[in-house]
């Protein structure tokens, strides 16, 4: 009866990627607001230069007080640094400029049809709050600044019905536009926060999965150690009938005790320095020699074959050694031989015997000779282990491919 079992195990690390974070949204908002404010600021500056609606002295003072902080805020927004305090400064200074506007225009001829240069900066002052103020104050500024403009504008041109209607339309338009811009900023920040939260949850879940995987790998290593060393030593001691067999059992027991003592320091894993594929051949021959068997190892290593990571070579060597031990113990070593092939793409190790075979699917889960010491051990380093067994014998194939 033929049976087959194969498995592959690999811990996949998600590729590094860029996340849409709150910090990035803040930088984008600062840059976009700076560009928009620069456009509106230039438009307002052209109207402010040579304006006749206010006294000439006041014009110079208000222009300097208004556009000085505005230029600094725009520069900081483009640079992405110190834009919050400068935006807050402009958002506070501009209402003070509005309060001074009736004084600056007192006694001057007013035109209801020509908007003053301060009109073009209403939404600059409101959108600046999106960079510096809490959301509640942002909405407060959306109403306060346009309404304050409406009051000082009516003081300047008079509060007749036509002027009130005209200025009211301007105020409502400014409020609506300000609210829309504040809502866009709020929605972008909310989206960024949710994405950041999702990212944190994903990282936390991945960390938990990685921790669980580490525990599982440790369990596999301990189980394989128990089977490879301790159980093998006990079985050898039980079956020893000659002085040579007893000496071998004593040596296996001594080795098992050493590996158990060093298990907490991961002595079995060792360094991860690259080794040649022939390292696996040495491990197979050593395992056979422990049972006083001279195994035929057929080697086909291509010149293009690359060195293996140390942990991979050890896993393949230990899994192959366990397959050799199984063949000796259960098949009497009949027809036992090994094949090790390597090229620039993969390493393949085959352990073959000519015993009576067994039903792979019928092997109990608590028997670790195949599931723990061979299949799980190879899967832990990203390889594949395949066991085929028929009445004509058993073949264990271990396969590991280089990362491209």
Task: State how far the alpha carbon of 168 is from the alpha carbons of 172, 181, 365, in Å.
Answer: 6, 20, 82
Residue for token pair 């999106």? 130
Residue for token pair 């000796």? 328
Total Cβ atoms within 10 A of residue 88: 18
123 near 172, Cβ under 8 Å?
no
pLDDT at position 239, please?
67
Selected from 3.30.565.10, 2.40.50.100, 1.20.1440.130, 3.40.1360.10, the CATH number assigned to the domain covering 269-401 reads 3.30.565.10
Tally: H helices and E strands in the chain: 12, 6
DSSP state of 108: S
Chain-centroid distance of CA 93 in Å reads 44
pLDDT at position 149, please?
93
What is the C-alpha to C-alpha distance for residues 259 and 136, in angstroms, rounded to an integer? Answer: 66
125 near 98, Cβ under 8 Å?
no
Q: Where are the domains of the chain?
A: 22-201, 269-401
Cα atoms in the Cβ-side hemisphere of radius 13 Å centred on 394: 24
Chain-centroid distance of CA 184 in Å reads 28
Provide the 3-class DSSP secondary structure of residue 347: strand
Provide the 3-class DSSP secondary structure of residue 399: strand
Q: What is the pTM of this model?
A: 0.51
DSSP state of 344: S
Dihedral over alpha carbons 217, 222, 224, 226 (to 10 degrees): -170
What is the C-alpha to C-alpha distance for residues 362 and 358, in angstroms, rounded to an integer? Answer: 8
Whether the CA torsion 287, 293, 298, 299 is positive or negative: it is positive
Tokens (6 digits) for 216: 């599982």
In what helix (H) or strand (E) does residue 385 lie, and over which residues does it extend?
Answer: strand 384-390
Provide the 3-class DSSP secondary structure of residue 311: helix
What is the C-alpha to C-alpha distance for residues 56 and 105, in angstroms, rounded to an integer? Answer: 10
pLDDT at position 326, please?
84
List Cβ neighbours of 328 (8 Å cut-off, separation of 6 or more). Answer: 288, 291, 293, 336
Q: What are the CB-based long-range contacts (under 8 Å, 24+) for 360-367?
A: 360/3, 360/4, 360/5, 360/387, 360/388, 360/389, 361/3, 361/5, 362/3
pLDDT at position 16, please?
40
Mean pLDDT split into 10-residue runs, the chain, 404 residues: 38 42 84 92 90 87 94 93 92 94 85 84 92 92 93 88 89 93 89 80 73 66 60 66 68 62 49 83 87 87 87 88 86 89 91 87 67 78 88 91 81
List Cβ neighbours of 2 (8 Å cut-off, separation of 6 or more). Answer: 388, 389, 390
Provide the 3-class DSSP secondary structure of residue 356: coil
pLDDT at position 160, please?
86
Task: State how far the alpha carbon of 119 is from the alpha carbons of 68, 74, 172, 195, in Å.
Answer: 17, 19, 13, 38
């Amino acid at each position: 009866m033929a049976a087959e079992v194969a498995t592959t195990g690999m811990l996949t690390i998600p590729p590094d990627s860029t996340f849409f974070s709150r910090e990035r949204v803040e930088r984008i908002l600062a840059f976009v607001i700076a560009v928009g404010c620069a456009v509106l600021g230039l438009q307002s500056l052209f109207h402010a230069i040579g304006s006749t609606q206010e006294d000439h002295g006041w014009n110079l003072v208000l222009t300097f007080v208004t556009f000085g902080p505005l230029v600094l805020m725009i520069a900081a927004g483009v640079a992405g640094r110190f834009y919050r305090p400068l935006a807050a400064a402009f958002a506070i200074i501009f209402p003070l400029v509005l309060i001074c506007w009736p004084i600056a225009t007192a006694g001057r001829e007013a035109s209801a049809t020509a908007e003053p240069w301060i009109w073009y900066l209403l939404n600059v002052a409101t959108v600046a709050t999106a960079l510096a103020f809490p959301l509640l104050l942002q909405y407060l500024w959306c109403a306060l600044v346009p309404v304050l403009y409406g009051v000082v504008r009516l003081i300047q041109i008079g509060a007749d019905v036509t002027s009130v209607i005209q200025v009211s339309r301007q105020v409502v338009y400014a409020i609506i536009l300000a609210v829309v811009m504040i809502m866009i900023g709020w929605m972008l920040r909310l989206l960024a926060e949710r994405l950041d939260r999702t990212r944190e949850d994903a990282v936390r879940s991945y960390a938990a999965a990685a921790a669980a995987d580490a525990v599982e790998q440790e369990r596999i290593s301990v189980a394989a150690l128990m089977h490879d060393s301790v159980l093998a030593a006990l079985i050898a001691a039980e079956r020893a009938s000659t002085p040579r067999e007893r000496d071998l059992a004593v040596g296996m027991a001594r080795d098992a005790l050493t590996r158990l003592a060093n298990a907490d320091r991961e002595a079995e894993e060792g360094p991860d320095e690259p080794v040649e594929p022939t390292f696996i051949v040495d491990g197979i021959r050593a395992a056979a020699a422990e049972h006083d068997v001279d195994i035929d190892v057929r080697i086909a290593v291509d010149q293009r074959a690359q060195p293996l990571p140390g942990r991979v070579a050890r896993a393949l060597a230990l899994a192959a050694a366990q397959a050799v031990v199984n063949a000796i113990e259960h098949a009497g070593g009949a027809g036992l031989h090994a094949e090790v092939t390597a090229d620039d793409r993969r390493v393949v190790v085959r352990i073959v015997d000519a015993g009576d075979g067994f039903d792979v699917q019928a092997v109990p889960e608590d028997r670790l000779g195949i599931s723990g010491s061979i299949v799980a051990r190879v899967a832990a380093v990203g390889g594949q282990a395949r066991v085929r067994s028929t009445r004509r014998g058993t073949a264990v194939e271990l396969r590991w491919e280089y990362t491209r």
